[in-house]
Amino acid sequence: MTQDPWSRPTIEDLRRVLESIGKPDVSNNRANERLELSVPAEIRTLRGNSISAMTREISRTGIGLLHRGAVTPGTVIVKMASETREFQYNVQIEWCSPCDNGMFMSGGRFLPNSQEN
């Protein structure tokens, strides 16, 4: 079965990747607490490309994502939706690394929104 190389990773894909990298043995020395968050998302680049993604974690200052295909570090728009509302954030993607099964993990920090959504 051939899989679309740009399709959204599933919750099972996310679980397998997180299990493969394991939990670090060191304490989290980050300024802001991270919360696990696994919801569908969309990354829209400044060039207008849309990439389906899943969130991995979120904090007050940033977000971690899992997706198929590399994302070049830079400014993007990340969209997420709940049952009643759509959320849109400007994010500065700071890193993107390959992981299992042709997927990539990336992380970025939230930027101020230039306009109200």
Across the strands, what pairs with 80?
Answer: 41, 87
Residues 52 and 69: their CA atoms lie apart, in Å, by: 10
Stretches where the chain sits below pLDDT 50 are 1-2, 25-27, 116-117
pLDDT of residue 95: 97
For 1-117, strand residue ranges (E) read 35-36, 40-45, 50-58, 62-68, 74-81, 86-98, 103-111
pLDDT of residue 50: 92
What is the pTM assigned to this prediction?
Answer: 0.72
Please name the fold of domain 11-20+34-111: Thrombin, subunit H (2.40.10)
